[in-house]
Each structure stands twice: as structure tokens, then as C-alpha cells.
Chains A and B, each alone.
Chain A
Amino acid sequence: MSRSVPFTHWGRLVLLSVLLGVGLSACWEEPKDTHPDQLVTKRRALFKQLTRAMEPIGLVANGRKEFKPDEFLSLVQDLEKLSSKPWVYFTVDGNYPPTRARAEVWSHASGFKQAQDTYIGSVQKLAQAAQGGKLDEVRAAVDEVTANCKACHREFRYE
């Protein structure tokens, strides 16, 4: 005859953990982008594209992918086209959840513009280096682009 016992401590613990996990995951759900122009969504999509465009360039620069000048130039030209695109979506009404941009983007707009110009300038320099076809110059230019990305993130984005 089977003996019916109340829920064991272990059973309660498992169920509690599952419920807690489900509850917390619901709490951590990111707010949706409800702006009519979906500024944050657009910015994110373009920054993701920038990251993706930068990946093969970085692989060449750190020697993990073969340097083929024509192919590399095409990659850099795609990056150059993209590099000027995201900034127009940082409009005055663009600071709202779920953005990870710091308030300084808007409160220190001239500094943010300067950071954009520096970044775009470094990408243009990379394009010139890519046209030259010399790997050493390309590497130095890629390092500069990467450094400008990081500097801008440090100052204007929550990590």
C-alpha cells in the first residue's frame, strides 16, 4: 500500500526555484520600442550591422584571415557607407527605454558629434589605407577605428 506523504522539502525547493526563475525572467523582459519612428530599434539594427561589417576586417587586421586587397577594400567600403548612418536616429526625442545610450548623448551633444566625426574620419582613413593595399597601414588604421569605437562607447553608452 502506497504511503502518501506531504510535499518534501526538496520538492518544494525545486518548484520554488522554477517559479522564481519564470518570475524573474518576466521581470527582466526589456521594454518594447513603442516610439512611432522606432529610433532605438533602428539604431540597434545599424550598430549590429556595423559590428558585423567590422568582424571580417578585424580578422584580417589580426592575421586570422588572409589579406586580399580587393576583397578587403570592398568590406571597408561597406563599412564606410554604414558609418554615417546611425547618427541621424539620435534625435531629441530619442532617449527612451530600451536605449543603452547615456544621457550625455543629448546633454553633451557637441561632444557626441565630435566622437561621430572622429569615428567617421578614422573609417575614411581606413578606406584610404585599404586602397593603398599595404597590410601594415591597414592594421594601424583598423586599430584606430577600433579605438574610436571603444572611446565613444565608454563615454556615451552603458555597457
Chain B
Amino acid sequence: MRVEFIPYVVLGAIGMAVLYVVGNILIGALHNGGLIPPPTKLDRYECVAPAGSFSMHYLHGTGRVQIKSPSGSLDGSVSQNQFDWSGFANDRNVLGFAPPAEVVFEDATSLRISGPDWKNVVCTKMVEPTRPQQPTAQ
């Protein structure tokens, strides 16, 4: 390739990338009715552990997870059944116990999780009542 074409190739590649990103954003915005994509609703699981009850908000296949205890809540991520609580792995200040480290087993209705403070705690999936969507007041 002739050297004088290099800038055109580089700029062309950058331009294509920009068009691709902007196009995707516009298509997504049209599809979602706005620039912010709707968050995927996580399933709620109620868990009974020796330290007390808590709930997990989790959906297989998504990376997000949330845990709520009477003392507080933590947001985290999950990958290959391992939880990542952003530094809170062995922290007991927020929840009152250390958050779970891994998903040991799951099926359509339950989740079994283990962590530093307990092993094989069973969490049962809660069925949320479906409500018709209310328009947001503007």
C-alpha cells in the first residue's frame, strides 16, 4: 500500500467505528424509547441463614446481583458462580455477616449459596405479582 493512503485508511477506520457506535445508540434509543436502556429486573430470592434472613436479587445469566439484610444492602457482580462484592467479601459491617462467595447450586425455583459465615444456605425464589405499568408523572 502506498504510504500517502495511510491517513485515509486510519481516518476511514475511525469514521466507521464512530458511525457504528452512533448508529447502535440511535437504534437502541428508538427501541427503548429513550437513551437509557431499561434495566433487567432481577428475581428475588428469600434466604434463611443461621445469622438471620436476607434476600438476594439475582438472575441467572446477568452479571448483577444485590443482597439485602435487615442491616443494609450491597451491590455486586457474579461471574461463573462466583460473587464479587467490590472489596466487601469478608466485611460484616454492612450486612451484619460476610456476603456469600459463590452459588453452589441453582434450579428454576431455588438457589444454594455459600460464604465465609455459612455453607449451603437455600434461597427460595419469590414470585412477584405482575402489575400494570403506570405512566410516570411528568
Q: In the assembled complex, how far is the CB of residue B54 from the closest CB belonging to chain A, in whole angstroms?
A: 13
**B3-37 toward A: CB 8 Å interface, digit per residue (1/0)?**
11011001100000000000000000000000000
Please measure, in the bound complex, the distance between the C-alpha atom of A20 and the C-alpha atom of B17, giving whole angstroms.
19
User: A11 with B6: in contact, given A33-B87, A45-B87, A88-B93 (CB under 8 Å)?
Assistant: yes
Chain B residues closer than 8 Å to A3, beta-carbon distance: 2
Interface residue tally for chain B (C-beta within 8 Å): 22
Cβ-defined contact, A85 with B93, below 8 A: yes
Interface Cβ pair total, 8 Å cutoff: 64
A27 contacts B by Cβ under 8 Å: no
A6 interface neighbour in B3, B7, B134, Cβ under 8 Å:
B3
Chain A residues closer than 8 Å to B10, beta-carbon distance: 14-15, 18
Cβ-defined contact, B3 with A85, below 8 A: no
| CB-contacts of A56-82 with B (<8 A) | 63-66, 78, 81-82
Cβ-defined contact, B71 with A41, below 8 A: no
Q: Which residue numbers of B lie inside 8 Å of A, CB to CB?
A: 2-4, 6-7, 10-11, 71-75, 86-88, 91, 93-94, 134, 136-138
Ranked nearest first, the 4 interchain pairs of A and B with the lowest CB-CB distance are A38-B87, A41-B87, A11-B7, A45-B86
A-B contact pairs, 13 of them (CB 8 A): A2-B2, A5-B3, A14-B7, A33-B87, A38-B87, A42-B86, A45-B88, A48-B75, A49-B73, A63-B137, A78-B73, A82-B73, A88-B93
